[in-house]
Amino acid sequence: MNRTALLLAQAKKKILILDGAMGTMIQRYKLSEEDFRTPALKDHSKPLKGNNDLLSLSRPDIIKAIHSAYFEVGADIIETNTFSGTTIAQADYGLEHLAYEINFQSALIAKEVAQEFTEKTPNKPRFVAGAIGPTNRTASISPDVNDPGYRAVTFDQLAEAYKEQIHGLLDGGADILLVETIFDTLNAKAALYAIQETFEERGLPLKPEDGGIPVMISGTITDASGRTLSGQTTEAFLISISHVPLFSVGLNCALGAKELRPYLKVLSENAPFYVSAYPNAGLPNEFGQYDQDALEMADQVEDFLKNGMINILGGCCGTTPDHIAALAALSQKYGPRKIELVTESDE
């Protein structure tokens, strides 16, 4: 059975557990500027501290340890350390030339750890999701209040940057592509366009059921208005990305589980795909820290599970292996959400 068929079989049987925060775990290491510099970047002119994706090249041991920690506590899927792995995001550090390498090496590291854990427990196969972040630019909103028509990036520039990232992730062995933390659906559409083009070039089918690489989409509702930053409601967001045969659609970041519930309900009731959720560990305190512990988060998430709203569950900002352990234990008490496929006769 190939990797996609294996994943689809697992998704029918159980709630799949995604990992927790990468950045939160990296912060525990108290890293210095030197930790972010490879020998080739020893004399690089710009500061590199904080460019977490770069650690896949400079400190792969740390990234491997974080992946292992999440698998140890029950994660089925880990995300590659590539949230800012595009030329667009890496331009802040003057490292556009390393975008492909960052994605390739990040996927290789994650794949190695996934294979180790799958060999230990063959009845619980582990998977790698290639993380594709939103970039630090938006195609729908002007960054200049005095020039509302201005855009800092074009659709074509986004698509080109995403294509390079996708090639690196696939070459490194990613089992899934995860377009996440979407605040602007036009950015996500550029990523989906890049995925479709890349699959066509590689001769990969678009539908996971036909053996293609599964594609996960995860949007971000930014506040209590229930909209993304570019102004879409959850239902509008779903409609905007439903032209692609996705593996899953879901929500992550910005909100805690309790705040996410009404928007997840919309997806659960309307999505012809699996539904994912990986909320933050509550809302940040006045210092920007996340105080919600694993048990409190699990208590809030249980509502999703009792109501059959979820297929894939994990954590975003502030979550740690403790949180994922609690979610993994909780998920075993519940079955996955059933997809009610919309048929032509229903339309």
State yes or no: 253 annotated in a binding site: yes
Cα–Cα distance, 94 to 72 (Å, whole number): 36
pTM score of the predicted model: 0.95
State yes or no: 210 annotated in a binding site: no
The tens digit of pLDDT for each residue in 82-106 reads 999 999 999 999 999 999 999 999 9
> What are the structural domains of the chain?
3-346 (3.20.20.330)
What pLDDT, on a 0 to 100 scale, did the predictor assign at position 344? 38
The band of 1, judged by pLDDT with boundaries at 50, 70 and 90, is: low
From residue 60, how far is each of 128, 133, 187, 258 by CA, in Å? 16, 20, 29, 35
Which residue from 220, 308, 233 is spatially nearest to 260, judged by alpha carbons?
220
Cα–Cα distance, 276 to 77 (Å, whole number): 12
The band of 121, judged by pLDDT with boundaries at 50, 70 and 90, is: very high
The tens digit of pLDDT for each residue in 35-78 reads 999 999 999 999 999 999 999 999 999 999 999 999 999 999 99
Residue type at position 240: S
State yes or no: 181 annotated in a binding site: no
Helix axes 294-306, 257-270, angle to 10 degrees: 20
